[in-house]
Chains A and B, each alone.
Chain A
Amino acid sequence: MADNNVADNKKFIVSHAPFWHDGSRISLRNYNIALAALPAILLGIIYYGMPAVGVISLSISSAIIWEFVFCRVAKRSVTIGDGSAAIIGMLFGMLLPATAPWWLVIIGTFVAVVIGKQIYGGIGANPFNPVVVAIAIVMISWKDIFDFNEALMNYDLDFVMVYPLAALKHLGVSAVDSFSMGDLLMGKQSGGIGSTFGLGLIAGGIYLIIRGIIRWEISLSFLAGIFIAALIFNMTDSARYAGPVFHLFAGYTLIGAFFLATEDSSSPVNFIPMLIYGAGAGFLTVLIRNIGVYIDGVIFAILIMNLVSPLLDKIRPKAIGKVA
């Protein structure tokens, strides 16, 4: 129904179909994420060799296959073309030690793709980051496999092969002195295949931020949350709590900041909520690391903040187009 008064007001004019699509697709976003993760994966493969290739390859392919199987069983159209399953598999593999057994990879990608994503309705409908759900479940179920000291005990690389966060937890702050911050940043630390090369992860993250694929608000507030929380702990008792820079470069921090916390459907969409979400996850990470029983807190912190993400989005102004 044409109303001249409204039509005169240029603010309300919306042209009718057909609209012009700029050609970007979900798959392109996911190809970019894969590209951004490549440096970190390559360094993992250089250090850990063919077993790392096996874990990453099997993880990507089994995630795609699980999604294909589920779509067929649920009589939905096959959605593997959007690349989301491949990214889930890739990120899951990056968090694993190179010695992860094949059955763990296959169970993990099942949990991620089917339980973490598809049963909620597929891409964009998952309340939690599927990769983080899967890692949390397999990590609690088979914790010896995620004990990086034990998993990587046959590797003799040219750096300190003790998992930095485990050393901190078990032996205290004095153990941190054996790690140089430069080494940690350059990936010279034991850990997951694709989660140790700090510089590569930062470069990938900056690339994704510039391309507009992930939100800088979440990444930066996550890192700031970790830094500030660790600094507060460190200032209250530097003999018991490690410094903030160590927390930034050790464990899953950087992969969490740029690849896990930023997942679209499980994170808030508005400016203030994104800052609260990121900072909250950062704070919780340090709380779990410093006074919790777990060695690394990134996974559980992100899960908890995923849980409150819909509540954060209630903060006004309301996000345009977002239901609930």
Chain B
Amino acid sequence: MISNKELQIAYGLAIILLVVGVLSYAVCPAKTPDQPVRLMFKCVAGKVLFDHNTHTAESGYGISCTGCHHNLEEGETEPQACGECHELESQDEDMPSRSDAFHTQCIDCHKEAEAGPEKCELCHVM
């Protein structure tokens, strides 16, 4: 036996929360910030979680944009995403593929700074 009051509560809840839910999804979708906080690189050897914020923030490693985004010209403030030039697979000798570019950049810098992981499994997780 279901009382009318219970049914009314359920109908009311369903309708109100449906409106709230649809509005939340439509009006305030999860935003992608202009400057990434963390990035997840996906590849066959296991995903890599890259903490962009820790690398750039003053309280972190404080690396300047040009430290990694090497093609930034004087006065330019908005670096391109790595993947815009470095494609997944590259036949072009002057343009390393994405995995080569990341491997060179990350590992060299970690070695140089004697900080950060250098072994495969410390970045790549399955």
A and B held together in a complex: yes
Known A-B contacts A53-B20, A57-B17, A153-B49; the reply to A81 vs B28 at CB < 8 A is no
* A49 surroundings in chain B (CB, below 8 A): 28
Whether the pair A154, B31 counts as a contact (CB closer than 8 A) is yes
Number of residue pairs spanning A and B whose beta carbons lie under 8 angstroms apart: 113
Whether the pair B18, A78 counts as a contact (CB closer than 8 A) is no
Whether the pair B30, A61 counts as a contact (CB closer than 8 A) is no
State A215–B3 Cα separation when bound (angstroms). Answer: 27
Q: Is B68 an interface residue (CB 8 A)?
A: no
* B6 surroundings in chain A (CB, below 8 A): 25, 27, 81-83
* A102 surroundings in chain B (CB, below 8 A): 21, 25
Q: Is the interface of A mostly helix, strand, loop or mixed?
A: helix
Interface residues of A (CB under 8 A from B): 25, 27, 49-51, 53-62, 64-65, 68, 77-83, 85-86, 98-99, 102, 147, 149-150, 153-156, 161-162, 166, 169-171
* B20 surroundings in chain A (CB, below 8 A): 53-54, 57
Interface residues of B in 39-62 (CB under 8 A from A): 39-40, 47, 49, 53
A122 to chain B, nearest CB (A): 12
Binds A, one of B7-15, B78-86, B94-102, B103-111: B7-15
Q: Which 3 A-B pairs have the closest CB atoms?
A: A54-B24, A58-B21, A81-B6
Whether the pair A171, B2 counts as a contact (CB closer than 8 A) is no
Known A-B contacts A58-B21, A61-B18, A65-B18; the reply to A80 vs B7 at CB < 8 A is yes
Option from B16, B30, B47, B121 in Cβ contact (under 8 Å) with A154: B30
* B33 surroundings in chain A (CB, below 8 A): 154
* B15 surroundings in chain A (CB, below 8 A): 61
Known A-B contacts A81-B3, A81-B6, A162-B49; the reply to A58 vs B28 at CB < 8 A is no
Contacts A49-B28, A60-B13, A150-B47 aside, 20 further interface pairs with beta carbons under 8 A come to: A50-B28, A53-B24, A54-B25, A54-B28, A55-B21, A56-B21, A57-B18, A57-B21, A57-B24, A58-B22, A64-B10, A83-B6, A85-B10, A86-B10, A153-B40, A154-B32, A155-B37, A170-B125, A170-B126, A171-B122
**How many residues of chain B get a CB closer than 8 Å to chain A's CBs?**
38
Q: Is B38 an interface residue (CB 8 A)?
A: yes
Whether the pair A166, B125 counts as a contact (CB closer than 8 A) is yes
B81 to chain A, nearest CB (A): 14
Option from A51, A68, A161 in Cβ contact (under 8 Å) with B30: A51
A-B contact pairs, 15 of them (CB 8 A): A27-B6, A49-B28, A54-B25, A56-B21, A57-B20, A57-B21, A58-B25, A64-B10, A65-B14, A80-B14, A81-B9, A153-B40, A154-B37, A170-B126, A171-B125
